[in-house]
Structure 1
């Protein structure tokens, strides 16, 4: 059995030796030391041949035979022309052991960096500038929670985790760092004397915490809502967050109710347990400063841990009556931050003969570092994920005095623990983590922020400070890993729901289809039930017990689900899950449903859809605000010629945002300028609009009131601007910007020229060393789509037009013929910059193409270009 180390005690094997000089890691971005620059330049001067050898040396063996200790029987690895591996074995344990080996072949550096990030140990690799990031992660205690979860998972899951770890370690044992990844060569050239430690089951479980963080829900909304109120007052702040439009954008499950704690899809009325949800009651004098500091600190966490903001996904399923195949078709494309390598690695895990002893026959998208398939299909069912987005985090403003915190009229003892952060090229950093009953105090990470907390409410010298703590369901141990293995083995609706019941965090919308013809939807996840004083919309006063969580969660049986809906399809795109009558509070911060309504409308317009048409719908790039805003823009009177050139493009625009569209480019630039002109004068920079779905709704309503105060620029004291003034100036500014960025002739404009996809490594890709960045980063893709379109290539209007998140993969599963399914990855399967499979799927992805998804043994064999046999290591010298 693999020994699991304590969170602050890494394994002896491969212990880090202090770097004499090494990389430093700014959480966003990561930077390199001058020593590394000099070392790398010398290496390059020494000869390009050596560089090429160093880059290509870690590429995995794809042919022949390799011995893997612990295998009971051979495992065959077949790779197609894109390097996608399909594994064939005789036991589940052998298959996941081989999966660990193959993941390590292709992506161990990614796995290693992510486990350092999730353990709060990035500073061991990248130096003192990563200490802040490590401090936040240590405060939240991700790895400590993962260690507790190992004791909660089922024996089968634990065996799978241990076998997977053994497979990874078998690869590590046979390779020096330079053989594992070229990044280790670069790091060690910079003076970091490093060899990776053994992989453990806890490393796999901690990776799930990073995904939960990336999809955590509305924590930033909680802070921003309060900051907006402090800037412009409650009434005007409410204009920036319109209520969800249930009539315009239907929820996922339109009917049903909770009866005696159980969700009944056919019920017409709820029971009477809806909680009270009064307004926020914290001290408003101290909250803004303390909370803004926590917000800023968390935003500096590395990109590889995810942003948690603006992330969505599409997934839908149609039944056989609505498909040309006569069986269900399921589609999924999760939207995540873009980076290199992509988060997914395609893989198949197949028992040569399926039986009770070897039941696995599954393929899909895997996380490097985690056994099993996360999203995909097996021989019987298919499933897809979108983010449910419930409110599973609450920030509390706490009154703290010394080692005590205030709650319910009395002082209670804080819980404390000490963490030591090892720093490459620097001294160890010792930190004390303090926690209230709500959760860890995040504001302790920054001394400056702690001082703000002490003084913000006029408490200087009193001994009382205002701290910020975090309550988050992911900090409570849960056997989420059980759900992954159970989903892989599920064969019908009941076993699928049983698997989903273990999926605690991140809470997801699950869509379902099976080969018997059934389709369905299930909302799993651990969602807290709050006391009557707290609706989770803004940070709460931690000293008031009525703001606490009850300790209960929404029961799984009470979460919305539906089997074989009457309309014949299910659409999930992060919209509201149920109507306003649902008795449990999930969240008020749903995606507003533009993507969901567009998908639903397209499905309703087609009696039957094919696999190809389903894949085409994933590329739909119609701008949801185009039909609303464009008529107002066309009504603006501009002088003929130069000023009206862009406006002329809008006259014939069909609201599509393909990469070649000049009209889409002009519209989006005008939109960006409109937001700046309307809101930048009254909101601080950290609250400037990103231009996504919430801001579509805000501006749509403001357009109906040309004299609303938001239109006025408060910086022009002698002038009161109205809507038409702002629209005209936005068009003029957009014309100048397009001329400056692209050309004077509007006929030469294109959206893709502005809207570019750049794939950057979140570690060495931000090193500041040109040759290293060119080695690991890739860019140059001009893409269509946009924020809150079905083809959701999001961009941030406050920062520019570059893609910030995108479909991380696309898949379409045909339950009539699994070999007729399609899939594509944002990058390739390989994490090696020297591999032809590093970004070999990106060109296809950018063109909207997909790859054939072979599943049957015959189809996989026909597609195979490489065959590798992993055999038991019976001879110790072998």
Structure 2
């Protein structure tokens, strides 16, 4: 018997040896792409030694004798810790992802390549001053030196069977372009297309009503509230008299279809702090991944305008650029939220019937330009895309009457890209920072600044705000054949709205409308958030008479369901007297209102699902009529959707705007509750088991996780924990989406500052600090802004001539 099984023993031993060798080889390659943490290294491109230290969490401090050398060093560190993510960002923006990953990315490349952003990035680099180009080149050289110093190429390229390509100077502009794509709907102005479709299919007064902002939830920092929406009477539109249309298919009430924006920043004046210095909080909500989009860094270098002659700036950088994006420098602290102004417009392209190669422009004709964009695809033939370009931008869609539409987008202009943001780390006051704001080549953002002297201020940062003709309607396509139908130039710096040292000593923004009147006309509405989140922050700030950084973090973590409280009351009223056991159980489960989007909250999930279903049923007949003409219509994106309209209809109950399937508005509400109970109650455990955490897991993953076996993703992804928070409250959270950082700091008092981040510093799972700090982010435990005790020291030395 022993002889019979001896060959199997040898085979088993051989398999084990093979597995061991494979594991050892994989470990060796993975370890070879870890960042260099210690020692001394001579590199070409430095003028003086630079010391790079890391604490136990991987937070980096760079000590240099000039900002130029610090720029080189941060490029070196970015490449060693985050090369793959930098490469993805430049490739996504350039439409060159299929070259790396194959056909799976072809649709994305075809979509993005129409914007020709690599050509824009090259033109943006060429337009920089020689000094600005030197900064970009210095960073480029540091990046390539960091890549070259890795013993093995970044581990992701072994899995992909590819080799990394060197960083080019224009690639930094491509990383900025990637942020334009992320913050501006990936270059799709579907919101204005869908508004145009609504206006083509429904009476104007009805569309105005359905899309009206909600003054009950608005919280601008300056100006007045909007007027309450006006319900159009039956002479405008009567559902009882129009032909019936197909019903809208039922939606899954547990889905997360209404993804709202989520960034917050707020500031309090020095009169409200113990130190007399102002205080700033900033949490930018973005899609989350492993590692996080930001990279923690502290930069120290000589600067005569800084306290003690040393500029000491700390915050987060964006790998791919050398700038400190948000942070504090001892004199000011600054942070951003996406402004949701109107930064793109459709332009009608009127062709010449006798010559399809040209189109009408004011005073004559112009030729359509054709660009052959070659897309390289890994393991497949190249694909050539014909991009039709106009003076306003590429032709990407058709108007409701079939007329071609070109997209005018600020991201198509080279002026919209520069590294002016780097100047903020040397600004000495709120006034100086606000003066810089109109010169920054970046997606337009709400900039909040707090300074050491106690001042606070707000403005819009970004140098490319389009100037439109007064008579234009920015929510509808412009007429390119008319001089007044296109952009008239750019808003001058003196026109930028500002608020400095408001009487209450408090400022806040949360992707909401921040101003009114002329300021709003200049900035436009690109889909402002409803305002409930901003209002909750405003009220949280008003509830304190004095502040610490801990108070600001508490506001960032506020998951109270203020916005849904009226919906909870409406659900209770709707179910009063219900005889159906499921509806009676639903009323019992939501009667005790915990008022929080907590992971174990059943009441929150049921009330939220009820609100979603009511919205769907109320709006269904209007959506159906638009889709009857435009099959791909979707409700225009914009934080509040139709909250004001829906509540107006539920309050006044006009029979002519009620879906004829229902005898009364109460019948609609009862049907909405019944649908929620039916959908959620049939799942395991019934309604009582339907917690919020069940549909709100973190889901923070490495970009390659979807293509890897599950047992490997366990080592790459962050724990898939249920998270508190949701839309319309300060703590916005959804699967794969949330606060990419939480900063709370008072300039000059950075030692008491807080900086939480998900996902950690490094993209290498063998790094000793992989995922460090993530648990604090999940639990809301304060993580110090300043790096801790030094654990590793690397010194970069200039090579001898």
Q: If the length of structure 1 is used for normalisation, what is the TM-score? A: 0.78
Partner of 1:391: 342
State whether structure 2 residue 199 is matched by structure 1 residue 229. yes
Give the C-alpha shift of residue 666 in structure 1: 1.6
Q: 2:156 aligns with which of 183, 186, 211?
A: 183
Map Cα deviations across residues 407-440 of structure 1 (whole Å, 9 max, x no partner). 3585421123332222211222223322222111
Evaluate the alpha carbon distance shift between residue 61 and residue 603 of structure 1 in structure 2; reply closer, same or farther with a 3 A threshold: same
Partner of 1:73: 48
Decide whether the 8 Å contact of 1:628 with 1:700 is kept in 2: no
State whether structure 2 residue 572 is matched by structure 1 residue 634. yes
State whether structure 2 residue 305 is matched by structure 1 residue 332. no
Q: 2:647 aligns with which of 696, 700, 709?
A: 700
Q: Distance in 2 between matches of 1:744 and 1:131?
A: 42
Partner of 1:604: 542
Give the C-alpha shift of residue 689 in structure 1: 8.4
Give the alignment of 1:572-591 within 5 angstroms.
572-582=509-519, 584-588=521-525, 589-591=527-529
Q: Distance in 1 between matches of 2:30 and 2:633?
A: 40
Evaluate the alpha carbon distance shift between residue 680 and residue 187 of structure 1 in structure 2; reply closer, same or farther with a 3 A threshold: farther
Q: Distance in 2 between matches of 1:111 and 1:135?
A: 21
Give the C-alpha shift of residue 108 in structure 1: 0.1
Partner of 1:679: 619
Q: Distance in 2 between matches of 1:469 and 1:769?
A: 43
State whether structure 2 residue 216 is matched by structure 1 residue 216. no
Evaluate the alpha carbon distance shift between residue 711 and residue 48 of structure 1 in structure 2; reply closer, same or farther with a 3 A threshold: farther
Decide whether the 8 Å contact of 2:595 with 2:604 is kept in 1: yes
Evaluate the alpha carbon distance shift between residue 128 and residue 402 of structure 1 in structure 2; reply closer, same or farther with a 3 A threshold: farther
State whether structure 2 residue 752 is matched by structure 1 residue 820. yes
Evaluate the alpha carbon distance shift between residue 706 and residue 619 of structure 1 in structure 2; reply closer, same or farther with a 3 A threshold: same
Q: Distance in 1 between matches of 2:56 and 2:393?
A: 49
Give the alignment of 1:170-209 within 5 angstroms.
170-175=145-150, 179-188=152-161, 194-209=162-177
State whether structure 2 residue 598 is matched by structure 1 residue 658. yes
Partner of 2:240: none
Evaluate the alpha carbon distance shift between residue 740 and residue 583 of structure 1 in structure 2; reply closer, same or farther with a 3 A threshold: closer
State whether structure 2 residue 91 is matched by structure 1 residue 142. no
Decide whether the 8 Å contact of 2:282 with 2:742 is kept in 1: yes
State whether structure 2 residue 289 is matched by structure 1 residue 343. no
Q: 1:104 aligns with which of 65, 69, 79?
A: 79
Decide whether the 8 Å contact of 2:80 with 2:150 is kept in 1: no
Give the alignment of 1:631-780 within 5 angstroms.
631-636=569-574, 637=576, 638-639=578-579, 641-680=581-620, 682-683=623-624, 684=627, 687=634, 692-707=639-654, 711-712=658-659, 719-741=661-683, 743-744=685-686, 746=688, 748-762=689-703, 764-767=704-707, 770=710, 776-780=716-720
Q: 2:378 aligns with which of 420, 424, 428?
A: 424
Deviates more, 1:404-413 or 1:361-370: 404-413
Map Cα deviations across residues 742-791 of structure 1 (whole Å, 9 max, x no partner). 52362x543112211212344x2343765665564445120111112111
Evaluate the alpha carbon distance shift between residue 328 and residue 728 of structure 1 in structure 2; reply closer, same or farther with a 3 A threshold: same
Partner of 1:15: none
Q: Distance in 1 between matches of 2:712 and 2:378?
A: 20
Decide whether the 8 Å contact of 1:707 with 1:722 is kept in 2: no
Give the C-alpha shift of residue 628 in structure 1: 1.9
Deviates more, 1:823-832 or 1:218-227: 218-227
Gaps of 5+ in 2: 1-16, 225-256
Partner of 1:252: 221
Decide whether the 8 Å contact of 1:327 with 1:515 is kept in 2: yes
Q: Distance in 2 between matches of 1:710 and 1:53?
A: 68
Evaluate the alpha carbon distance shift between residue 793 and residue 381 of structure 1 in structure 2; reply closer, same or farther with a 3 A threshold: same
Partner of 1:437: 391
Partner of 2:239: none
Q: Distance in 2 between matches of 1:869 and 1:112?
A: 26
Give the alignment of 1:782-801 within 5 angstroms.
782-794=722-734
Q: Distance in 2 between matches of 1:170 and 1:738?
A: 55
Decide whether the 8 Å contact of 1:344 with 1:808 is kept in 2: yes
Evaluate the alpha carbon distance shift between residue 337 and residue 224 of structure 1 in structure 2; reply closer, same or farther with a 3 A threshold: farther
Q: Distance in 2 between matches of 1:804 and 1:725?
A: 37
Q: Distance in 1 between matches of 2:520 and 2:740?
A: 34
Q: 1:403 aligns with which of 347, 352, 357?
A: 357
Evaluate the alpha carbon distance shift between residue 426 and residue 744 of structure 1 in structure 2; reply closer, same or farther with a 3 A threshold: closer
Map Cα deviations across residues 623-642 of structure 1 (whole Å, 9 max, x no partner). 24322222211112323754
Partner of 2:91: 116
Partner of 1:268: none
Q: Distance in 1 between matches of 2:775 and 2:71?
A: 31
Evaluate the alpha carbon distance shift between residue 439 and residue 55 of structure 1 in structure 2; reply closer, same or farther with a 3 A threshold: same
State whether structure 2 residue 418 is matched by structure 1 residue 481. yes
Q: Distance in 2 between matches of 1:313 and 1:610?
A: 21
Evaluate the alpha carbon distance shift between residue 691 and residue 381 of structure 1 in structure 2; reply closer, same or farther with a 3 A threshold: closer
Q: Count the aligned residue pairs.
A: 736
Decide whether the 8 Å contact of 2:597 with 2:725 is kept in 1: yes
Map Cα deviations across residues 457-481 of structure 1 (whole Å, 9 max, x no partner). 5xxxxxxx74221101221122643
Give the C-alpha shift of residue 845 in structure 1: 1.4
Decide whether the 8 Å contact of 2:563 with 2:729 is kept in 1: no
State whether structure 2 residue 552 is matched by structure 1 residue 614. yes
State whether structure 2 residue 473 is matched by structure 1 residue 535. yes
Give the C-alpha shift of residue 572 in structure 1: 1.4
Give the C-alpha shift of residue 557 in structure 1: 1.1
Evaluate the alpha carbon distance shift between residue 730 and residue 56 of structure 1 in structure 2; reply closer, same or farther with a 3 A threshold: farther
Q: Distance in 1 between matches of 2:341 and 2:416?
A: 19
Give the alignment of 1:244-323 within 5 angstroms.
245=215, 249-254=218-223, 310-323=260-273
Q: Secondary structure at the match of 1:199?
A: coil
Decide whether the 8 Å contact of 1:359 with 1:489 is kept in 2: no
Gaps of 5+ in 1: 1-41, 189-193, 256-306, 444-451, 458-464, 795-802, 855-859
Q: Distance in 1 between matches of 2:144 and 2:390?
A: 39
Q: Distance in 1 between matches of 2:478 and 2:20?
A: 59
Q: Secondary structure at the match of 1:730?
A: helix
Evaluate the alpha carbon distance shift between residue 373 and residue 406 of structure 1 in structure 2; reply closer, same or farther with a 3 A threshold: same
Q: Distance in 2 between matches of 1:408 and 1:500?
A: 33
Map Cα deviations across residues 99-145 of structure 1 (whole Å, 9 max, x no partner). 00100111001111211222221121122343343233332121212
Give the C-alpha shift of residue 220 in structure 1: 2.7
Deviates more, 1:123-132 or 1:657-666: 123-132
RMSD, matched Cα: 3.1
Partner of 1:277: none
Q: If the length of structure 2 is used for normalisation, what is the TM-score? A: 0.85
Partner of 2:137: 162
Evaluate the alpha carbon distance shift between residue 556 and residue 328 of structure 1 in structure 2; reply closer, same or farther with a 3 A threshold: same
Q: Distance in 1 between matches of 2:528 and 2:637?
A: 16
Decide whether the 8 Å contact of 1:482 with 1:502 is kept in 2: no
Q: Distance in 2 between matches of 1:63 and 1:768?
A: 32
Give the C-alpha shift of residue 592 in structure 1: 2.5
Evaluate the alpha carbon distance shift between residue 680 and residue 51 of structure 1 in structure 2; reply closer, same or farther with a 3 A threshold: farther
Give the C-alpha shift of residue 848 in structure 1: 1.7
Evaluate the alpha carbon distance shift between residue 45 and residue 726 of structure 1 in structure 2; reply closer, same or farther with a 3 A threshold: farther
